[in-house]
């Protein structure tokens, strides 16, 4: 099978042919149709969290495809099932991660990878979807959509009329905006460096947008909130200064939610006094999504026309152009970027 391999940090991915290993207990072989490209892959390529001890290895953690075979013990899915591939643990066996072979060299992989024509994943990283759900948009349910909506519904527990500010409106941030609009939050503020992303955020429900390259986001938010701060602020960038601004812009009874991953050596300094009186800081873990519960609900919302998925896809690439896809995401030009394994 053809797969994209990260051989060294800060280098282009290498597309090569790998042997598919024999399935072990709890493993599922999936023919990948589409994979998303997430910020997590940018972090792995750049070494944002430090040196990578598992190189060379495969990448990708959101996708959609069709089950081709299952290993011993698998009961959750069967050959022919259409599935979403996700990094968040769901029900089922937590299998051993697979190891692939490239001309005698071992290529590592995690419990789910999606930058390949086929993938061996753990049973608890797949969720069945209806056969009539388009697999391109279904791929987005593996991370960006579920995380963004989960931040609103689970981490923030946002109520109608409560305020929220979102720093970084890429894949996750855009769906925080969409989720906040679903619960009638107000105001919903999108903050980003790119006007094209702010325009898209407005189309997804942002009541206010602010380009932080052109002014002080904290000053803007405090003025908009009457000096009280926001009920919820969400940082998706992982940028240290932005995380600080998010915390400083939160009301004394509000929640600061960190979804972005910082560089390994970066820390923020906070005034912890408000934490004694109701303010909260939360590190979101995929929006605390329960894949086998939430993904079917989101599929239904999509079919009812209440969840925008098609509108999020701005770029499509084939496997041979995967480095172009990575660069497009890195520059901030993309909405959601898809890799088609059959293109």
How many CB atoms are closer than 10 A to CB 252? 13
Its pTM stands at 0.94
Q: Is the dihedral of CA 95, 100, 105, 109 positive or negative?
A: negative
The residues facing 258 across adjacent strands are 235, 283
Q: What distances in angstroms separate CA 301 from CA 37, 206, 291, 307, one per listed residue? A: 23, 19, 15, 5
Give the closest residue to 169 by CA, choosing from 148, 150, 187, 155: 148
Domain 2-142+309-340 has CATH 2.30.40.10: no
| 173, HSE (Cβ side, Cα atoms, 13 Å) | 31
Do 127 and 15 meet the contact criterion of CB atoms below 8 Å apart?
A: no
**Rounded to whole angstroms, how far apart are CA atoms 186 and 161?**
5
- Delimit the domains of the chain by residue range: 2-142+309-340, 144-288
Do 312 and 140 meet the contact criterion of CB atoms below 8 Å apart?
A: yes
The residues facing 58 across adjacent strands are 5
The residues facing 65 across adjacent strands are 32, 83
- Digitized pLDDT (tens) for each residue of the chain, 343 residues in all: 999 999 999 999 999 999 999 999 999 999 999 999 988 888 888 887 778 888 999 999 999 999 999 999 999 999 999 999 999 999 999 999 999 999 999 999 999 999 999 999 999 999 999 999 999 999 999 999 999 999 999 999 999 999 999 999 999 999 999 999 999 999 999 999 999 999 999 999 999 999 999 999 999 999 999 999 999 999 999 999 999 999 999 999 999 999 988 877 888 888 889 999 899 999 999 999 999 999 999 999 999 999 999 999 999 999 999 999 999 988 877 789 999 998 7
The predicted pLDDT at position 91 comes to 97
247: left (phi over 0), alpha (psi -120 to 50) or beta: alpha
Give the closest residue to 55 by CA, choosing from 102, 87, 22: 102
The domain 144-288: what is its CATH number?
3.40.50.720
Do 112 and 121 meet the contact criterion of CB atoms below 8 Å apart?
A: yes
For 273, the token pair is 């006094």
């Amino acid at each position: 099978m053809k797969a994209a391999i990260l051989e060294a940090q800060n280098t282009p991915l290498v597309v090569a042919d790998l042997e598919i290993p024999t399935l072990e207990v709890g493993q599922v072989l999936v023919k990948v149709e589409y994979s998303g490209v997430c910020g997590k892959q940018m972090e792995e390529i750049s070494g944002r969290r430090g040196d990578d001890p598992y190189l060379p290895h495969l990448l990708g953690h959101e996708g959609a495809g069709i089950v081709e075979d299952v290993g011993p013990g698998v009961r959750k899915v069967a050959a022919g099932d259409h599935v979403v591939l996700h990094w968040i643990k769901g029900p089922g066996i937590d299998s051993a991660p697979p190891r692939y072979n490239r001309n005698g060299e071992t290529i590592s992989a995690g419990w789910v990878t999606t930058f390949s024509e086929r993938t061996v994943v753990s049973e608890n990283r797949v969720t069945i979807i209806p056969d009539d759900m388009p697999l391109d948009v279904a791929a987005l349910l593996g991370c960006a959509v579920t995380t963004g909506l989960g931040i609103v519904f689970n981490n923030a527990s946002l109520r109608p009329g409560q305020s929220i500010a979102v720093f970084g409106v890429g894949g996750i941030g855009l769906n925080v905006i969409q989720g906040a609009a679903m619960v009638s939050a107000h105001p919903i503020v999108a903050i980003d460096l790119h006007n094209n992303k702010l325009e898209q955020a407005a189309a997804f429900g942002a009541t206010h947008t602010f380009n932080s390259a052109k002014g002080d986001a904290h000053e803007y938010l405090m003025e908009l909130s009457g000096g009280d701060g926001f009920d919820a602020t969400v940082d998706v960038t992982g940028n240290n200064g932005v995380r600080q601004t998010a915390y400083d812009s939160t009301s004394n009874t509000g929640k600061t939610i960190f979804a972005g991953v910082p560089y390994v050596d970066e820390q923020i300094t906070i005034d912890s006094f408000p934490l004694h009186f109701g303010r909260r800081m939360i590190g979101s873990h995929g929006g605390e999504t329960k894949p086998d519960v939430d993904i079917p609900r989101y599929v239904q919302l999509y079919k009812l026309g209440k969840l925008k998925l098609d509108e999020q896809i701005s770029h499509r690439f084939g496997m041979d152009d995967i480095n172009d896809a990575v660069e497009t995401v890195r520059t901030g030009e993309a909405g959601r970027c898809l890799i088609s394994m059959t293109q």
